[in-house]
């Protein structure tokens, strides 16, 4: 008995018509990001494991629990990329992109891999759309990244967006806050879960990410990072907020927002859509001024974001989905054996005029072919028989009204475009 293979757990196939939605979202991302001066970068799926240990942080759940890592045949430690900021940073250093006029603006679209429990909207192979701006430490870059993201989401027809924004400060600010947070939590160690007790030793700020209700209650009285900001960090954050106000971006300062990766500094933010019935973020982002140097490069500042594309597509507004669906293509039906080749020629002529055509190739009867057209949801069929072959035309029939007329390929294309 032959084996019947299935997709690996936590992965999935994307099939038509769903792929049309994915393509439309990616086309929108490229259009918007390129309008802000970003160029696309494509990094390998496979990277040196040490890149993520150093870039993402060994204390993070991604490195500690979720990476697909293994040794290759020569004993080299490699990993399927769990995120792309470190990978883009590696490419930036390797190809000396710091020699370009700053800032360097890069975006990416592609699959990533993390070993976590599969659930709705979460997969072990997942997809992200992201961007990185490298070489500008100022608050204006932070604000422009937010403006670009809001524009992208608005073009996807989201109309109820809110930006949750915070600052995790510079190293001076975080050192002061870390000490105060540990001093507060240490007497309550027994009330913390296993992960949070571990983080108390390795990265206390990550405890602020907890979803545990008891821990969240404990944190309500904890010190806040805002009380430990250096003057430079406070000024940077205030300028970001002032720019968002200037452009009327709806935002809310979220004091407990720290994001989940170790490399973030200063501005961090998430964008949520209030109409989703939850506060799941559509996108997460942050500044990372020390990452490039940590990866062995020059002291180049950066800010970037990542959008979970699987999640994004799950919550797309119906108005965007309806626009993507559009009209099914025209179906060309040859009538008679001789018309099968000439029908292909007429289908090619319509395509040359910019019309999508599904050609009936099986030789089934006209009645059976029209039945297939109805099953496909096709509104128009182009008929080619002896008369049409003689005249070099086609008969365009509207299956909704029953009306039909004989036209050239160019005339039919114009008529079809007028009906869109």
Contacts (Cβ under 8 Å, ≥6 apart) of 232: 170
Cβ atoms within 10 A of the Cβ of 14, count? 11
Q: For residues 406 and 391, is the Cβ–Cβ distance under 8 A?
A: yes
Extract the tokens encoding 285.
Answer: 């982002």
Indicate if the alpha-carbon torsion angle 89, 92, 98, 102 is positive or negative: negative
How far apart CA 355 and CA 344 sit, in angstroms, is 14
Cis peptide bond prior to 17, omega within 30° of 0:
yes
Extract the tokens encoding 70.
Answer: 């293994």
Q: How confident is the model at residue 76 (pLDDT cuts 50, 70, 90)?
A: very high
Tens digits of residue pLDDT in 380-398: 999 999 999 999 999 999 9
Region 77-95 average pLDDT: 96
Of the listed ranges 17-21, 55-59, 162-166, 383-387, the least confidently predicted one is: 55-59
% pLDDT > 70, the chain: 95
Question: Measured between alpha carbons, how far is residue 65 from residues 61, 114, 129, 230, 328 in Å?
Answer: 5, 9, 23, 34, 45
Q: What are the beta bridge partners of residue 125?
A: 113
Q: For residues 85 and 290, is the Cβ–Cβ distance under 8 A?
A: no
Pairwise pLDDT comparison (417 vs 31), residue with the higher score? 31
Q: Mean pLDDT of all residues in the chain?
A: 90
| Burial label, 303 (beta-carbon count in 10 A; 0-12, 13-18, 19+) | buried
At the topology level, CATH places domain 18-170+230-321 in: BirA Bifunctional Protein; domain 2 (3.30.930)
Tens digits of residue pLDDT in 341-382: 999 999 999 999 999 999 998 888 899 999 999 988 899 999
Do 327-418 and 18-170+230-321 have the same topology in CATH? no
DSSP three-state, residue 363: coil
Tens digits of residue pLDDT in 126-158: 999 999 999 999 999 999 999 999 999 999 999
DSSP state, residue 60: S
Domain edges within the chain: 18-170+230-321, 327-418
| Burial label, 98 (beta-carbon count in 10 A; 0-12, 13-18, 19+) | middle
Region 390-410 average pLDDT: 94
Confidence (pLDDT) at 295: 93
What secondary structure does DSSP assign to 194-256, as a single string?
A: HHHHHHHHH-GGGGGG---HHHHHHHTTS--GGGG--HHHHHHHHHHHHHHHHTT--EEE-TT
Cβ atoms within 10 A of the Cβ of 352, count? 11
Tens digits of residue pLDDT in 23-63: 999 999 999 999 999 999 999 999 999 999 887 765 555 66
Query: CATH number for the 327-418 domain, one of 3.40.50.150, 3.40.190.10, 1.10.10.10, 3.40.50.800?
Result: 3.40.50.800
């Amino acid at each position: 008995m032959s084996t019947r293979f299935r997709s690996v757990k936590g992965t999935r196939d994307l099939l038509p018509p769903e792929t049309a939605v994915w393509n439309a979202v990616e086309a929108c991302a490229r259009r918007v990001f390129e309008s802000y001066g970003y160029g696309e970068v494509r990094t390998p799926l496979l990277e040196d494991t040490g890149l993520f240990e150093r870039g993402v942080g060994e204390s993070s759940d991604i490195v500690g629990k979720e990476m697909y890592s293994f040794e290759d045949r020569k004993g080299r430690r490699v990993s399927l990329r769990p995120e792309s900021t470190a990978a883009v940073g590696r490419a930036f250093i390797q190809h000396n992109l710091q020699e370009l006029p700053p800032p360097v603006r890069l975006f990416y679209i592609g699959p990533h891999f993390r070993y976590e429990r599969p659930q709705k909207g979460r997969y072990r192979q997942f997809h992200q759309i992201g961007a990185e701006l490298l070489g500008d430490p100022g608050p204006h870059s932070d604000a422009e990244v937010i403006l670009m993201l809001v524009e992208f989401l608005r073009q996807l027809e989201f109309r109820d967006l809110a930006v949750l924004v915070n600052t995790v400060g510079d190293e001076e600010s975080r050192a002061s806050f870390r000490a105060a947070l540990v001093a507060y939590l240490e007497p309550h160690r027994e009330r913390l879960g296993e992960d949070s007790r571990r983080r108390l030793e390795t990265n206390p700020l990550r405890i602020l990410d907890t979803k545990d209700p008891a821990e969240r209650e404990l944190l309500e009285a904890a010190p806040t990072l805002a009380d430990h900001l250096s003057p430079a960090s406070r000024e940077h954050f205030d300028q970001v907020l002032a720019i968002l106000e200037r452009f009327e971006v709806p935002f809310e300062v979220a004091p407990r927002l720290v994001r989940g990766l170790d490399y973030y500094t200063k501005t961090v933010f998430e964008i949520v859509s209030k109409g989703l019935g939850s506060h799941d973020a559509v996108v997460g982002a942050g500044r990372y001024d020390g990452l490039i140097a940590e990866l062995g490069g020059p002291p180049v500042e950066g800010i970037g974001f990542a959008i979970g594309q699987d999640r994004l597509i799950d919550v797309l507004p119906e108005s965007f989905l309806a626009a993507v669906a559009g009209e099914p293509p025209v179906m060309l039906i040859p009538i008679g054996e001789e018309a099968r080749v000439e029908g292909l020629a007429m289908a090619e002529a319509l395509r040359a005029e910019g019309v999508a055509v599904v050609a009936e190739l099986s030789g089934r009867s006209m009645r059976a072919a029209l039945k297939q057209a109805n099953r496909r949801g096709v509104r128009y069929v182009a008929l080619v028989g002896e008369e049409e072959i003689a005249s070099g035309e086609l008969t365009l029939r509207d299956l909704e009204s029953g009306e039909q007329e004989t036209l050239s390929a160019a005339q039919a294309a114009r008529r079809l475009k007028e009906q869109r």
